[in-house]
Amino acid sequence: MAELVSHPDEVRVVSRRFGQGATNLDRYLELDGYKAVQKALTMQPDAIVNEVKNSGLRGRGGAGFNTGMKWSFVPKQSAKPKYVLCNGDESEPGTCKDRLIFEHDPHAVIEGTVIAGLAVGSHTGYIYIRGEYRYLLEIMQKAIADAYARGFLGKNIFGSGYDFDVYWHGGAGAYEVGEESALMESLEGKRGIPRIRPPFPAVVGLWGGPTVINNAETLASIPHILLGGADWYANLGPPKNGGTRLFCLSGHLKRPGVYELPMGYNLKKMIYDVGGGIPGGRKLKAVVPGGSSTPLMTPDEIDVPMDFDSMMKAGSMLGSGGVVVLDDTTCMVKFALRIMKFYQHESCGWCIPCREGTDWLKKTLIRFHSGGGLKKDIDNILYLSQNMLGRTFCPLGDAAAMPTISIVKKFRQEFEDHLEGQPCAFEKESKIEQLPVLA
């Protein structure tokens, strides 16, 4: 069970019930549980969609698309059943927030899923939880069963005449399956290969039916928005970036942990104030602001508000809320390598640039870090990453390229320091992975 932390700047919305025993349905009801869905049952679907749209809630899965807007793309009439799919595949390195939601507040996810269903006229929801989160899957299984037992799910929910089923679904280890179309493939029992878009899931999704896909945190925010109102939620953050966000602080920090802070919270403050700064009197070197796929930022770049638009302007991305802090003992080449190892391992292999590009980048970085680097490799690494960018079948290729480009550009000197057989200055002893090198 993951430890909880707190900080005075926190604004607890999604994390309101953390640590309150809300996995217990009665306790959840005491804490305003299932009120929002009952309210939603009295509303017109369009009104729910508008409320969410106006709240400025943007997808917490990483891309930051306006959630209400996404729902509005679902056709009103559809010959095939419509579905709501909760993305709980949380696998982006640096991200560990959905885990807390499932652990402490599973009913909020269920409730959000039902409300999304009401908004788009669907009668079935699936909650997909990554395979490694077995204990969370079990919590969710129990929560769903409890909700059925009370008539909150199934036929005629809350006596409203509306039917809604929610099913759990477990993964089996694959980052790419978090990508929305690969997620649907996986749920349909296939390899997690993304689908060609268009058509987008909102039009043609699970088993061909229109499908709303949202991150678990996104869906868990929905009940609060309906109860608190769109204005209240929108005003928690800067314009067009409504609400709060679970930030997962990790790396070289005194007080790592998951904190709920308003959108637009200053990154520097987040590191030094909320996260307690860097231990051992060492200095900040770089920050991964939103999970491993976002471009890294240097200490002089971090005085920015953490919202989707400001981060974009600052040349990076808000991503999935995983803030990883690196101090000056970190070898940036090794860090770039570890990121690339991840993407190489997780690439589904479908398209050439991602499959081959990540593999070559990984190999080159291994050789580079082990002291076999040549000067031209630095440019080759850039060349390769830039040729992947924007040309892959799904955004995983971009996710691999972006941090790499930022590291090479911002820390080029460290690459040069590794040239011509020089041992890595950051390694205590030379215990680096060796690949045979052709001269």
Ligand X SMILES: Cc1cc2nc3c(=O)[nH]c(=O)nc-3n(C[C@H](O)[C@H](O)[C@H](O)COP(=O)(O)O)c2cc1C
Residues interacting with ligand SF4, by CB under 6 A?
A: 176, 194, 347-351, 354-355, 392-394, 396-397
Does residue number 342 form part of the binding site for other proteins (CB under 8 A)? yes
Residue 369 near other proteins by CB under 8 A: no
Q: Which is nearer to ligand SF4, 168 or 343 (CB)?
A: 343
Contact mark string toward other proteins, 114..143, x via CB under 8 A: ----------------xxxxxx--------
Distance of closest approach, residue 293 Cβ to ligand X, in angstroms: 7
Q: Largest Cα–Cα distance of the chain, in whole Å?
A: 74
Shortest distance (Å) from residue 170 CB to other proteins: 4
C-alpha distances out from residue 244 to 2, 49, 232, Å = 21, 19, 11
DSSP letter for each residue of 255-319: S-EEEEEETTEEHHHIIIIIS---GGG--EEEEE-SSTTSPPB-GGG--SEESHHHHHHTTS--T
Q: Does 2 contact other proteins by CB under 8 A?
A: yes
- Candidates 351, 400, 407, 424; binder of other proteins (CB under 8 A) is 351
Per-residue binding string, other proteins, 187-216, x by CB under 8 A, is: xxxxxx---x----------x---------
Nearer to ligand SF4, 1 or 196 (CB): 196
Stretch that binds other proteins, among 50-58, 306-314, 387-395, 405-413 (CB under 8 A): 387-395
User: Which amino acid is located at 293 in the chain?
Assistant: S
> What single-letter amino acid sits at 363?
K
Identify whether the C-beta of residue 36 lies closer than 8 Å to the C-beta of residue 227: yes
Residue ranges in contact with ligand X by CB under 6 A: 59-63, 65, 67, 87, 89-92, 176, 178-180, 213-215, 218, 394-396, 399
Ranges within 42-81 binding other proteins (CB under 8 A): 81
Report DSSP state, residue 193. Answer: P
Strands (E), 34-152: 83-88, 124-129
Sheet strand arrangement including 211-215: 165-170, 124-129, 83-88, 211-215
Which of 197, 180, 204 shows the shortest CA–CA distance to 62? 180
Question: Quick check: 438 binds other proteins (CB under 8 A)?
Answer: yes
C-alpha span between 131 and 129 (Å, rounded)? 6
The option from ligand X, other proteins, ligand SF4, none interacting with 264 (CB < 5 to 8 A, set by class) reads none
Q: Residue 321: name its binding partner from ligand SF4, ligand X, other proteins, none (Cβ under 5 to 8 Å by kind).
A: none
Q: Which does residue 391 bind out of ligand SF4, other proteins, ligand X, none, counting CB within 5 to 8 angstroms by kind?
A: other proteins
Cβ–Cβ under 8 Å, residues 157 and 114: yes
Binder of residue 258, out of ligand X, ligand SF4, other proteins, none (CB less than 5 to 8 A by kind)? other proteins
Locate 217 and state its tokens.
Answer: 């945190």
Select from 33, 106, 112, 171 the one that contacts other proteins (CB under 8 A): 171
Nearest approach in angstroms of CB 132 to ligand SF4 is: 19
Interface with other proteins includes 384 (CB under 8 A)? yes
Residue 321 interacts with other proteins (CB under 8 A): yes or no: no
In degrees and rounded to multiples of 5, residue 32 shows phi and psi of: 70, 15
> In this chain, which stretch among 37-45, 222-230, 308-316, 357-365 interacts with other proteins, using CB under 8 A?
357-365
Which CB, 59 or 251, lies closer to ligand X?
Answer: 59
Rounded alpha-carbon distances, angstroms, from residue 380 to 364, 373, 406: 9, 11, 14
> E strand or H helix at 190, and its extent?
none
Name the minimum Å distance from CB 392 to ligand SF4.
3
217 binds other proteins (CB under 8 A): no
CB environment 318-336: b (16+ within 10 A), e (fewer): bbbbbbbbbbeebbbbbbb
Q: Judged by CB under 8 A, which of 151, 173, 315, 423 binds other proteins?
A: 173
The minimum distance between CB 335 and ligand X, in angstroms, equals 20
Q: Are strands 305-306 and 265-266 parallel, antiparallel or unpaired?
A: antiparallel
In the list ligand SF4, ligand X, other proteins, none, the entry touching 409 (Cβ below 5 to 8 angstroms by class) is: none
Say whether residue 326 binds other proteins (CB under 8 A): yes
- Nearest distance from residue 9's CB to ligand X, in Å? 24
Are 60 and 248 in contact, with CB atoms under 8 Å apart? no
Q: Is 161 left (phi over 0), alpha (psi -120 to 50) or beta?
A: left
